[in-house]
Structure 1
Amino acid sequence: MATKPAIRFTELPPEKLRWRCDPARIPYETTAQAEPIEGPVGQDRALRALRMGLELAAPGYNIFVCGLSGTSRGGMIQRLIEQLQPRTESGPDRCYVNNFKNPDRPRLLTLPRGQANNFRKDMQSGIDFLRRRIPQVFEGEPFQRQKGRIVDRYTLREKELMDDFTRRIAREQFALGHMQVGAVALPEIFPVLDGQMVPIEDIPKLVQEGKLENIAAEELERKYEQFRQEFTVVYRKTLTLSRELASELSYLEQEAASVLVDGFIEELKEKYTATNVAEYLEEVRHNILDNLDPLKEREDEEEPGPVPPSEALPKTSNPERDPFRVYGVNVLLGHNEQDASPVIFETTPTHANLFGTIQRSYDSRGVWSSDFMDLRAGSMLRADGGFLIMYALDALTEMGVWRTLKRTLNHAKLEIQPMELLFPFGASALKPEPIDLTVKVILIGDRNLYEVFYAHEEEFKKIFKVRVEFDEEMEMSDDVIRQYSGQLHKLCEDEGLCPFDRTAVAGMIEYGVRLAGRRNKVTSRFVDLADLAREACYVARQAGESPVTAAHLRIAREARTERHNLIETKIREMIAEGTLHLFRAILLRGRWR
């Protein structure tokens, strides 16, 4: 039976127990001479994946970033995106307006970039113009003259009907009067006896008193019933005349106001040529002309003066009482034409912050209501045409966020709705039109969280197809030394630290190699080295010296060790005192002895 050869251990010389960086390899006297560098270094693989994910516009190519460390990973990704400047299409402006046919379904208007705020201002100024000018038209002499002729004509026709009826009943000893019923005086037919109008209810009483014979009373009651039926017909004709008068006056008002309204609407249609805007403006035209009563009231044009203290109190706003609120424009997303594609880092990704919500307006009685003006946008909409960054763990743990995020990314549509659980007394009846979105979502998490998502969430792999993984180490080279120096310079600039000389830079690189655990590798987690740099600068300033040297760096590391090795110190004391005894084991010929 063949025996295995004995294991031969190569002796490790002491000089290889620690890798040292020759300060001569540092091309600068101090880091102040180095070129400042910001962002991760040695991450070409991750940056290529990030650029591909940013620029590929196909569905599902959202990004999951893992491997980054530090307290501002989102800010680092945000700066990387701004540096890469990926090619994107700018998103349009979005606003909600009233749906006059179905107020519970607010209408979405999509306008070219930079036009939404101007459209809102033009709508407001147009309504203000109509509120000033329409009352002047209605109070003008031409309109009043035409209105007077129409009213006179219908008044004459009504008078002829009533006079004819009055003459006919007068021949039978009846008259038309009024009977008071509460606060209302109603027309009534009265028999005339001895020149006096007598209510028909008093006829039986006159018979009992002997003032009227039964035959005459029965004749009066018969004629009364006949005249009541005839009066009903006449009264209906007068009501018909009243309706015709109101209709003709309404038509006259529409004709008079249409000149102003048509000019206002046509001017907006020429300026804003989108199809959905033209349809909305036509609805506005018809609604204004069909509801002219609020516009008949002249606005208060008194010059502002000192306000009495009793009138200076804040007033409760009730949107239901504002008849012109229906013509407002709620701009959820407005841009300037020169704005670049947005890069939004959402640090608090609650449901309302991400997807928007519907606010509630309360009146003086505490009754709430919501309309299209109460819609509020979230960061998902503000990132339209750009990028939205957030932490994956926050998206998973915030109530309702992950479910809504999946639905939004799957359908590329955003529906603004409040969280049902936040409204225990019933959700809003509003259902705004959904918004088509073009947004790239970037989640930041660790490798374990990515694996959990990938293994247990079926839709995750469909909507986050790009994995960007930042390596924790990189190959040691002269270029890496220059990058380390540049990052130290940037850190000193940002935080006002002392510059580092070449011996301190060499010491930082040695510490980076120690963290990587391999002689030919160095850590890319500069955030760990940044803490050591801050502590070394503190030591140098305590000593009143600058720049930071390798000696300061060594003291800082020793101080850090001292802050964390209290238990180790106690154990060493116990060993020295003989409280703890250690037994040495020897490996001899493959066996411990």
Structure 2
Amino acid sequence: MKNNLELRREDLKISYLNTGFNFKTTDEIQPDESIIDQDNALMALEFGLQLGARGYNMYISGVDQKTIYEYVKARLEKQAGEKAVPQDICYIYNFKNPSTPRVIRMQPGDSIRFKEDMKEFRQFLIDGLGAKLDSVEAERKRQHLIDKLDSKKEQILEELKSYAKEQGFIVKLTQEGLGFIPLDKEENPISMEQYELLDQTTKQEIEENIDRLSEMAEQVLADIRDVEKEYSQYMNDISETIVLNEVGYFIKHLKEVYGKYEVIKEYLDEILQDILEDISIFSDSQSAENQEIKSIFPWLGSNKVGERIGHYDINILVDNSQLQGAPVVTARDLSFARLVGKIKVDTELTLNRVDFNNISAGLLHEANGGYLLLYVNDLLDYPGSFEVLRRTLKTGEVNVESLAISNITTSLGMLPPPVPVDFKVILIGDYEVYRVLCDTDATFKDLFKMNIDFKDTIDGDKTSLLRFASQIKAFCNKEHLPDVSYEGVLVLAEYSHRLAESQEKMSANIQPVTDLVREASVFSKDLITKEHIVKARRVKTLFKETLQKNIEEKYAKNIYLLDVGGKKIGQVNGLAVYDVGDFMFGKPVRITATTYRGKSGVADIEGAVGLSGSIHSKGVQIITGFLGNYFAQDYPLSLCGKICFEQSYGGIDGDSASSAELYAILSSLSQVPIRQGVAVTGSINQYGQIQPVGGVNDKIEGFYRICKQKGLTGKQGVIIPKQNQKDLVLDEEVIEAVEQGRFHIYAISSFKEGIEILTGVPAAQVEERVACKLKAYSGEGQNKPIRIKKKVK
């Protein structure tokens, strides 16, 4: 059936594919990795990069997220190279509060040098200081003091012994202290037997003398203790002098090198004071003793020297010494610990030991002073990660949190102070996710003031096509693939138009195209041609056709009932699309309608049982609105209508079948049958105008395959909205069938055109029958004139 609404072959093709270019293969053109036809988005990106104020982070959305990601990364790296390298971030031991290390910032490279210098210093404490403390000269001085101390103690005791002898006693050293034994006239000690034979007066006199001597002995012992303390200080002075001479030399040198950092000079003074507080642990003999104990009883912990000098290490969180500008940090692992860092726990039997040296940095530390580029979906994949990023942007600080520690062990806590950071975040994701984040987080728009949306499609003119070919050339160079022929480029362009569902636009997503080039290279090692690309596309489709084939077999076996010939009242073939990942295919569906007298209007059975989405239900309500507005101006609309998608057992949504549903209702009311060889897609509004839908290519090809399977008669085809005509990028087989008159495609703009194609009856006749039926339902009789709107624009 030919009429002015039927499309011809040239309406189904992309016109510029037949125009020539001055290259035979991509080897003759320059590679280009830039983004095509996104001038506004790129301008907004450049503007956003110049804004350094807080809150001007970016959310970039677009269909080709990988290409956008790579472009933005390259642009950030270029800009970052022009910025100053940020300071290094380090932790040092806090002598005043060991559980809270101190944060210091140093110029890039200084932290590495300082860490190496402190490593050398710690090695000296291990290897050199003990030797100095136990040197021959130091031991000689100590022995000299010991000798003097012994002499002094002996002198004090001799004075007591001399006085005691004058009083008739000798002094005896016991475990309890000093004792006194009385002497006889020959100055021999009196035994207990002799003492018992003495008279009472003599005994009393001896006891009184012993009491006086005991008081003197207590004073003597006190004097000895004072002398020991005095000489002990002399001994310490020897060690302190060695420490001040040897360690002080290192400290002085480090202060001269790092004098511009006041916090480091303070830290070095604290280290010296820490060493002086317990010098003995640095003695070689003490260290050896501790090592022996450690080897026998490992649960007692490390030796004191090792534990002490661990405090003098430098934990470099962020080392920027190798950067040439500001950092550009990217990652796909965006777990909580990866973002904020973590604290490792060294477990020794039942004791968890936490050391500030075990604190590691996260991405938020590493990005300080630069940029953090992330996929938003990666961020949302990990619980808590988006929240910690949001909190960091709000506060300007990163808090490192320790890993979970078992509650059956003792934990030595570590509370690192927050680290101030400043960086710009760029998130790449879907626009839908952006809207959800804006709706669910009141602060999101304040933190991400820049929303840059890359178009989903680009112009399909010759200039864009040439740049498209240059992109393919760049991809082939990058992956070391053969060049692509001119005809191959045109096939790839046609594929891009199909992805965009437009004859005028190409898809902005280059990734499916480059995937196809990569897959086509399997069939050619020298030059990728049109034939290789077509073959790769067919093979690629075969991997995903299982569901489609299963459905088509059910049509062939009449498990799914569908007529592609003859006429039926109240029955029309609609077109649906199945979307399975990145694979879509059309599936015809029988739509039936019944009508009778009532007040409820038109209702869909799917909606009544909860299988209809809100958009589909809206489309059904629009049908009721159209019928009332178009036919029931002079009498009430008294109608019950039921619409059903036959053999549909899953949820349906969308309004692309609303025109088909209307035609089924009109057929039921008018009792005019509908051609079953013509399927319909398109939505309708309350004024009877046909509106465009999505997936039109897949819908047409899906119905064509079923008609081919059941037998093409030359009377089959599809009706599509006029607006969708420029969206047609059909398979060549379908185009050839249209050219040969074996299949037909009609583009309409109003329901009148559709009903005439479907019934073969003028629209006015169908309308008159419908009006009569609706008037009869209303109870107004048959004698009043019928007023019908005659024109629908």
* TM-score higher than 0.5: yes
What code does the residue aligned with 1:238 have?
A: I
Instruction: Tell me the residue number matched to 1:325.
Output: 310
Change (3 A) 1:177 1:562: closer
Change (3 A) 1:424 1:448: farther
Q: Is the partner of 1:348 in helix, strand or coil?
A: coil
Shift of 1:488: 1.2
What code does the residue aligned with 2:46 have?
A: R
Q: What is the TM-score of this pair, normalised by structure 2?
A: 0.62
Q: What is the TM-score of this pair, normalised by structure 1?
A: 0.81
Shift of 1:504: 1.1
**From 431, 439, 445, the counterpart of 2:415:** 431
Instruction: Tell me the residue number matched to 2:529.
Output: 549
* Equivalent residues in 2 for 1:237-386, closer than 5 Å: 237-272=223-258, 273-297=260-284, 318=302, 322=306, 323-336=308-321, 339-363=324-348, 365-386=349-370
| d(CA) in 1 for partners of 2:239, 2:506 | 83
Q: Which has the higher contact order (CA 8 A, sep 6+)?
A: 1
Instruction: Tell me the residue number matched to 2:663.
Output: none
| d(CA) in 1 for partners of 2:127, 2:45 | 57
| d(CA) in 2 for partners of 1:160, 1:93 | 63
- 1:102-131 superposed Cα distances (whole Å, 9 cap, x missing partner): 222212221111111111111222343455
Q: Is the partner of 2:60 in helix, strand or coil?
A: strand
Instruction: Tell me the residue number matched to 1:443.
Output: 427
| d(CA) in 2 for partners of 1:462, 1:422 | 39
**From 158, 171, 175, the counterpart of 2:171:** 175
1:510 and 2:498 equivalent?
no
Moved more, 12-21 or 415-424: 415-424
Q: Which residues of structure 2 form unaligned runs of 5+?
A: 288-294, 573-673, 676-754, 757-762, 771-793
1:387 and 2:371 equivalent?
yes
- 1:455-505 superposed Cα distances (whole Å, 9 cap, x missing partner): 111232232222232221112233322221122122223334332111111
Shift of 1:166: 3.5
Moved more, 284-293 or 269-278: 284-293
Of structures 1 and 2, the larger Rg is shown by 2
Decide whether the 8 Å contact of 1:350 with 1:398 is kept in 2: yes
Shift of 1:188: 4.2
Change (3 A) 1:570 1:354: closer
Moved more, 101-110 or 252-261: 252-261
| d(CA) in 2 for partners of 1:213, 1:434 | 86
* Equivalent residues in 2 for 1:55-204, closer than 5 Å: 55-69=50-64, 77-83=72-78, 85=80, 87-129=82-124, 133-135=128-130, 137-138=132-133, 147=142, 150-170=145-165, 171=167, 173=169, 175-179=171-175, 186-192=176-182
What code does the residue aligned with 2:315 have?
A: N
**From 505, 525, 537, the counterpart of 2:509:** 525
Decide whether the 8 Å contact of 1:70 with 1:527 is kept in 2: no
RMSD, matched Cα: 3.8
The count of aligned residue pairs is 557
- 1:337-369 superposed Cα distances (whole Å, 9 cap, x missing partner): 653322222221222222111112234x45221
Moved more, 492-501 or 344-353: 492-501
Q: Which residues of structure 1 form unaligned runs of 5+?
A: 1-7, 180-185, 301-310
| d(CA) in 2 for partners of 1:212, 1:39 | 122
1:235 and 2:221 equivalent?
yes
Shift of 1:524: 0.9
Change (3 A) 1:236 1:105: farther
Shift of 1:554: 3.1
What code does the residue aligned with 2:357 have?
A: M
| d(CA) in 2 for partners of 1:492, 1:151 | 86
Q: Is the partner of 1:467 in helix, strand or coil?
A: strand
What code does the residue aligned with 1:267 have?
A: H
Percent identity over paired residues:
23
Q: Is the partner of 2:455 in helix, strand or coil?
A: coil
Moved more, 352-361 or 475-484: 475-484
Change (3 A) 1:164 1:23: farther
Q: Is the partner of 2:16 in helix, strand or coil?
A: coil
Decide whether the 8 Å contact of 1:371 with 1:430 is kept in 2: yes
Q: Is the partner of 1:417 in helix, strand or coil?
A: coil
| d(CA) in 1 for partners of 2:553, 2:253 | 90
Decide whether the 8 Å contact of 1:66 with 1:469 is kept in 2: yes
